Structure 1
Amino acid sequence: MTRLRALCLLGALLCGGTGEAVAGCRQALALGLDVSGSVDLREYRLQIDGLITALNAPEVTRMLLSTPSAPVALLVYEWSGPADQAVLVPWTRIDGPERLAEISMALAETERRDATPGTALGIAMETGARYLDEQKGCWTRTLDISGDGRSNLGPRPRDVRDAIGARGITINALVIGADAPAIGDQRHVEIGELSSYFRTEVITGPDAFVQTALGFEDYAAAMTAKLKRELDGLAISELQ
């Protein structure tokens, strides 16, 4: 999100924006977490705990809480095979620190479900877009997809991406890989190749980008950087 776009949004509010827009949220963020068969229990926990750490990073918290009158709406869901999507945190408008604490607690109490080993990335994208369609009053809508591999079940990401983008939804990606994968470990696709795949097949929308994590141990730092980049320019002070 560029500051120019943020200023345009602010200008719309100051010059005849509707009451619904003012009363709405400045950004809807749907975070899709990969829990496919390539993600073991330890990696699952690193991903969940990493998201908690990122949401509570001082700079991210400051951005999230900067404008209570037009808060960020957050939803967290996990995805795997075609029938393995589940909401961990329903749509929550972060209008104060207590909401952020509630989200963190809900994530901390989350336990791993049984999931099929497939990676239905296209369906995960469609699922996230359907959730974002529930937040059409927000100034911007962003779908975040975390993943450690290519899609191998369901529609191809490239076949659903453009239709999602046409609905005004931006898709960003957090790609999880490794610098030196273990021999025979099919989970760890070389990070550059996997990033290129997500850049070509998955992301869409103005300023869409791919963030990388060099293994699940790096997930917290990567998610923190990603949220800061997405929220930058949307932290607007109270209107005078």
Structure 2
Amino acid sequence: MRHLACLLAFLLSASTALAQDKAEVDLALALAIDISGSIDPDEAQLQRQGYVMAFRDPAIVRAILSGPNGRIAVAYYEWSDSWMQKLLIDWTLLDSEKSIAAFASKLEAEPISIARRTSISGAIHYAVSLFGRLPYDPVRKVLDISGDGSNNDGGLVTDLRTEALKQRIGINGLPIMNDRPNPFGFPAEADLDQYYLHCVTGGPRSFVEVAKNFADFPRAVRKKLLQEVADLGPRPDIARTELALRDGMNLAQARRPVSAQEDDYTRFVRPGYEPGCDVGERRSREFWQRRFGTSPD
């Protein structure tokens, strides 16, 4: 019995020491990128290059290094079907110009791939486990999802959003508007920005940044990353943030602290999407019934 008590005490002290050894970061940011079948290889390349360019942008580098701790942690994965999430870069500490440049170069070197279905819910579920093994102590946890369609595979997106919000993971969205039908014949979604706003995003200061098309993706990524790193929430422009960075202001001065009422992240969602947040699943079933007389599964 005495040996068991000693062992438990040792394990407890070891786990406490490990927790204390975790470096505090201003932000843990998981980047989740859509590679479903509606995105062709050229569009996938535009997405990838948008992130590479963003992490090489001097304003974003300054933003990362200007927080109270001067560092963030980033992970990058691609997603499509409910079972398909591909981790390209695991949690990486960005705490210097050199480490940020190395992250961008590593991302640029990864091969491009395309899969099939669109499971935003699967991407969120994967992020919860990804944050669960985060080797750093973050002030904020943010999941950033980009994509060009609504959820049509796996669980309901709102259920998985709640799962993430209960873990205090804020969710931002980067919907890519696309006015052409995808290769499988699904119609374009003119209200995808509203779907992302009401059905995908959540948490204090969560927001949607819209890419008007794939060519507009690099601009949208740059603006979104600046807002996320600065923790300034939704805003029509980023001029004030960029001026502050240029003048050497610590970003902590520009942030509004999270209040006690914001502890429950599930409160921060925007209900009221008229077509319903299961619209992607219904459209998918209707399409396959019309075309083949059967469900996609």
Q: Which residue of 1 aligns with 2:208?
A: 210
Q: Which TM-score applies when normalising by structure 1?
A: 0.82
Q: Is 2:44 the partner of 1:44?
A: yes
Q: What is the deviation of 1:170?
A: 0.1
Q: Which residue of 2 aligns with 1:170?
A: 170
Q: Distance in 2 between matches of 1:183 and 1:31?
A: 26
Q: Which residue of 1 aligns with 2:66?
A: 66
| Structure 2 residues without counterparts, runs of 5 or longer | 1-18, 232-249, 254-297
Alpha carbons of structure 1 residues 114 and 199: separation in structure 2 relative to 1, 3 Å: closer
Alpha carbons of structure 1 residues 183 and 165: separation in structure 2 relative to 1, 3 Å: closer
The answer to whether the 8 A contact 2:26-2:69 is kept is: no
Q: Is 2:35 the partner of 1:35?
A: yes
* Count of residues paired in the alignment: 214
Q: Which residue of 2 aligns with 1:133?
A: 132
The answer to whether the 8 A contact 2:36-2:81 is kept is: yes
Q: What is the deviation of 1:66?
A: 2.3
The answer to whether the 8 A contact 2:171-2:202 is kept is: yes
Q: What is the deviation of 1:28?
A: 0.1
The answer to whether the 8 A contact 1:23-1:69 is kept is: no
Q: Percent identity?
A: 30
Q: Distance in 1 between matches of 2:186 and 2:58?
A: 36
Q: What CA deviation, in whole Å up to 9, does each residue of 1:192-240 have, x standing for no partner?
A: x111111121111001111100111111100100011111258349xxx
Q: Which has the higher contact order (CA 8 A, sep 6+)?
A: 1
Q: What CA deviation, in whole Å up to 9, does each residue of 1:86-145 have, x standing for no partner?
A: 111111110111111211111111112352x11111010111122122236211000000
Q: Secondary structure at the match of 1:83?
A: coil
Q: What CA deviation, in whole Å up to 9, does each residue of 1:61-99 have, x standing for no partner?
A: 101122595410000000011222111111111011111
Alpha carbons of structure 1 residues 40 and 24: separation in structure 2 relative to 1, 3 Å: same
Q: Distance in 2 between matches of 1:79 and 1:199?
A: 19
Please say which of residues 145-154 and 80-89 is displaced more in the overlay: 80-89
Q: Which TM-score applies when normalising by structure 2?
A: 0.67
Q: Secondary structure at the match of 1:211?
A: coil
Q: Distance in 2 between matches of 1:183 and 1:128?
A: 29
Q: Which residue of 1 aligns with 2:78?
A: 78
Alpha carbons of structure 1 residues 52 and 198: separation in structure 2 relative to 1, 3 Å: same
| Structure 1 residues without counterparts, runs of 5 or longer | 1-18
Write the letter of the residue equivalent to 1:153.
Answer: D
RMSD over aligned Cα atoms: 2.3
Determine which structure has the larger strand proportion and give its number.
1
Write the letter of the residue equivalent to 2:60.
Answer: V
Q: Which residue of 2 aligns with 1:225?
A: 223
